[in-house]
């Protein structure tokens, strides 16, 4: 029996391996990040099966588009989260998804709600929840809706019954505050 050693690989090494089309990089990323990416997708689409499809599409996009990742714009993990988030939002906005969700039975709804408690996405582990909780309440609410639940700014404005301009200003301010926090932790 082969002994499994969980080695830590730096982000720079992972990016190089991905760009060199080394399959070990994708396996490493899958082993370390698939639960978080699946959880994010599930929170948006509310279907385990569709979330799993999105997870698969996410890793295909990561593999195919590794050369487009730009280290100067953010962490690899953030880039991967954005891929999963965008795929999930695209799925929710698709006409097939809208038709299917209209015909969903009550049993499926209950099943989806029950499965929500077993999702692998755990923002506490990644300190994301803690970081976002440092924002002002009105900023936190918008960041949660837009970045964790997949709302557009317009949808968030409608849900919270506030002007779109106010939403945009608060989100921009929240992102600025988060940038300041991350810059202070990097030093």
Res 138 pLDDT > 70 = yes
Domains and CATH numbers, the chain: 1-122 (1.10.1740.10), 123-187 (1.10.10.10)
Backbone φ and ψ for 104, nearest 5 degrees, come out as -65, 135
Give pTM, 2 decimals.
0.55
Whether the CB-CB separation of 67 and 16 falls below 8 Å is answered with no
Query: Which pLDDT tens digit goes with each residue over 35-80?
Result: 999 999 998 888 899 999 999 999 999 999 999 998 888 889 989 9
Q: Could you tell me which residues come within 8 angstroms of residue 35 by beta carbon, excluding any fewer than 6 positions away?
A: 120, 121, 122
Cα–Cα distance between 53 and 55 in angstroms, integer?
5
Q: Which residue has the tokens 């991967």?
A: 80
Cα–Cα distance between 180 and 111 in angstroms, integer?
41
Distance between alpha carbon 123 and the CA centroid of its chain, in Å? 10
Cα–Cα distance between 88 and 163 in angstroms, integer?
26
Cα–Cα distance between 21 and 66 in angstroms, integer?
9
How confident is residue 124, by pLDDT bands cut at 50, 70 and 90?
A: very low
């Amino acid at each position: 029996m082969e002994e499994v050693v969980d080695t830590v690989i730096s982000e720079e090494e992972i990016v190089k391996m991905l760009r060199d089309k080394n399959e070990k990089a994708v396996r490493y990323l899958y082993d370390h990040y698939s639960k978080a990416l699946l959880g994010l997708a599930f929170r948006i689409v509310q279907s385990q099966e569709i979330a799993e499809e999105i997870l698969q599409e996410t890793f295909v996009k990561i593999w195919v588009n590794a050369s487009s990742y730009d280290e100067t714009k953010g962490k690899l993990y953030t880039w991967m989260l954005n891929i999963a988030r965008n795929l999930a939002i695209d799925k929710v906005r698709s006409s097939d998804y809208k038709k299917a969700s209209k015909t969903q039975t009550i049993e499926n709804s209950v099943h989806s709600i029950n499965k929500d408690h077993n999702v692998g996405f755990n923002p506490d582990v990644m300190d994301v929840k803690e970081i976002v909780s440092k924002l002002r309440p009105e900023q936190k609410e918008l960041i949660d809706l837009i970045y964790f639940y997949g709302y557009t700014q317009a949808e968030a404005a409608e849900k919270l019954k506030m002007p779109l301009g106010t939403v945009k200003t608060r989100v921009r301010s929240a992102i600025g505050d988060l940038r300041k926090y991350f810059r202070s932790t990097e030093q």
